Amino acid sequence: MKNIHLLLLAGLLLLTSRGLAALPVADDDDGGLTLPPGFRALIYADNVVVGKKVGNSRENLRGLAVAPNGDVFAKGHYGQIFALRDTNSDGRADVVEKFGPGDGGTHIMFHNGYLYHSSRTAVYRYKYIPGELTPSSPLEVIVHDLPAQRDHDQKAFAFDDSGHMLVEIGSPYNVFSKPDRQFGAKGFSPAEVEKFQETYGGFWRFDPDKTNQTQADGVRFSTGHRHSLALVWQPVSKNFFMCMMGRDNMNIVDPNDYDALDNAERDAEEFHLLKEGANLGWPYSYWDPIKNARMLAPEYGGDNRKRADNPEFDKPLIAFPAHWAPLQMCLYDGTQFPQKYRGGMFLAFHGSWNRAPMPQAGYKVVFIPFTTNGLPAGKWDDFAEGIPGADFYAKGSGAKYRPCGVAVGPDGSLYISDTDKGRIWRVIYTGEKKEAKKNNLMPAASAGDNAEDSKIPANKIFTMVCAACHMPDGRGVPSMQPPLIGSAIVAGDATQLINILLKSPAVVLPADRPKYTGSMPAFNVLSDADLAGVINYIRARFASGASSVTPEQIAAQRAKL
């Protein structure tokens, strides 16, 4: 009997060491999240920033960090740091305190016994004293007086394992041009770009243990950035990985060569392995995820066809859909989640505001699996969805929740923060089987998931995607968009029509076809089921008697891309 008790005690200690013994009870609805099978969630804290102000600005949340004892620290966009503690072990914060210099910021992280955080112009740290919720140690200034103008002034940072800290100084421009974001904008000269990038648009390397540094004390690590708040060190491959926010407003700058759908789909959020000396190609170029190519920006002579041929411009490892707005990214270094998650990265997307006429999207957290060699496995998966954001934008109001921060706790739980209300979710793995909730937002296909079934009604896809250009009654717009009524293409060969939606008319149709000023992009982000549904809807409505198509036909043509 004694031996049995010893075995039971050993098993309990083993479970505790793996972070599996004291998991909290999940919410019945998983806090509103849609998660992969076996995962559950609860609301760790809610309304953290509701009613909070810094000066005249309403506070909202950005990044997260979790202390070795499980306390959660959330960085406010206007500088406050919220410290949260669960004192009764029910998995939910019941104590919330705030501290900090109150001068803006976004990023927060524990490193070598210190709590580091950033403002618009500086990186600070507090010595972490175990057991303290708010630090009694003095605030140390590691880097100060960093450039901060207009847009993209928040400072992301991360540490390698050789005693270095990278800090991003983003570009205050959408594209380095005059006028910025406006019709006819022209890019500055190469000499002006080179001078500009001595100060902006890259990561700089500093000593994280040296105080009162300025930008002049740093070394420029990489360049050609627009803005990136997602940066993580991968300890196995010993590389930094980052995700850059792509550009906006191509159709406003050059409406002759780009339309609203081009702007909605053709400028990826770029995920890179960030080597020292890397040039990501901004402001001269952008990455088109449909063409799978680096394209010349319209401010620098691009016309939606010219490719950027500079071999020094880095190619992204993953091209995420346009305008999803990547914010914090974290390494999963816990053991609570299944093996496939270990060593991979979670990335929070804040969600789009300017994908019209496509639906707004990207209010989610995705998972990027890595190989045992510490390199991305070449695909990504939706992880936390169902966050009510894009549907609110569609109704003309701000999103209800927007993911912003992600961090891993000492027990292997994943914490996810929301910007607007200050909700913080805690995601746990229980392995229990539970019927998945249906996400009420229109999903963009994950890499490798294009054949996944969808429940989006075809008429809804038509209204959101097609009617914006071809009009709800299919009459088109003279000289701009072709009519669907009476169209030989709509009524004709099904395989050709499938390929037009998968590749775009410019790729499939002959060069001497009738030309329209509106340029239709490929819609290969839609699943096979969705494409078949919308084609059948259009043919039934505007081409009576035309045969229907199946998802299998779509898949067969997609396989040839």
219 φ/ψ sector (left φ>0, alpha ψ -120 to 50, else beta): beta
Helices 494-503 & 528-542 angle (0-180, nearest 10): 130
Q: What's the confidence (pLDDT) of residue 448?
A: 34
3-state secondary structure 474-528: CCCECCCECCCCCCHHHHCCHHHHHHHHHHCHHHHCCCCCCCCCCCCCCCCCCCH
Q: Quick one: pLDDT at residue 12?
A: 36
pLDDT value of position 197: 96
**Same domain, yes or no, for 393 and 531?**
no
**What is the torsion angle, in degrees rounded to the nearest 10, for the CA atoms of residue 126, residue 130, residue 132 and residue 136?**
-40
CB 193 within 8 Å of CB 186: no
Using the 3D structure, point to which of 373, 408, 429 is the last residue of a domain: 429
Query: What pLDDT score does 453 carry?
Result: 47
Supply angle C-alpha 26, 32, 34, rounded to 5.
Answer: 90
pLDDT of residue 457: 79
Q: Would 443 be classed as within a structural domain?
A: no
* Element holding 193 (H helix, E strand): helix 190-196
Residue 547 lies in a domain: yes
pLDDT band of residue 452 (cuts 50, 70, 90) is very low
Whether residues 418 and 469 share a domain: the answer is: no
Are 521 and 398 within one domain? no
Domain that residue 520 falls in: 458-558
Provide the 3-class DSSP secondary structure of residue 469. helix
**Residues 430 and 40 sit within 8 Å (Cβ to Cβ):** yes
64 close to 424: Cβ distance less than 8 angstroms = yes
Domain membership flag for residue 77: yes
What value does the mean pLDDT take over residues 426-445? 63
Strand partners, 114: 111, 127
388 and 486 inside one domain: no
CATH code of 504's domain: 1.10.760.10
Residues 83 and 182 grouped into a single domain: yes
Residue 11 in any domain: the answer is no
Q: Are residues 86 and 167 in the same domain?
A: yes
pLDDT tens-digit series, residues 168-197: 999 999 999 999 999 999 999 999 999 999
- For residues 394 and 351, membership in a common domain is answered with yes
Note the pTM of the prediction, 2 decimals. Answer: 0.76
Q: Note whether 193 and 321 are same-domain residues.
A: yes
Number of domains in the chain: 2
- Token pair listed for 376: 């991305």
Report strand pairing: 285-288 vs 364-368: unpaired
Q: In a 3-state reduction of DSSP, which class is residue 137? A: coil
For 510, counting Cβ atoms within 10 Å of its Cβ (0-12 exposed, 13-18 middle, 19+ buried), the class is exposed
Same domain, 414 and 473: no
The pair of three-digit structure tokens given for residue 442, joined into one six-digit string:
């229109």
- Looking at the fold, whether 372 and 506 belong to one and the same domain comes out as no
Query: Is residue 452, in this structure, part of any structural domain at all?
Result: no
Considering the domain boundaries, does residue 8 fall inside one? no
Residue 148 has pLDDT above 70, yes or no: yes
Answer yes or no: do 403 and 478 share one domain.
no
d(CA 434, CA 438): 12
CATH number, position 153: 2.120.10.30
Q: Which of 526, 496, 529, 535 is nearest to 513 (CA)?
A: 496
Q: Is the dihedral of CA 126, 130, 133, 134 positive or negative?
A: negative
In this structure, the answer to whether residues 124 and 162 fall within a common structural domain is yes
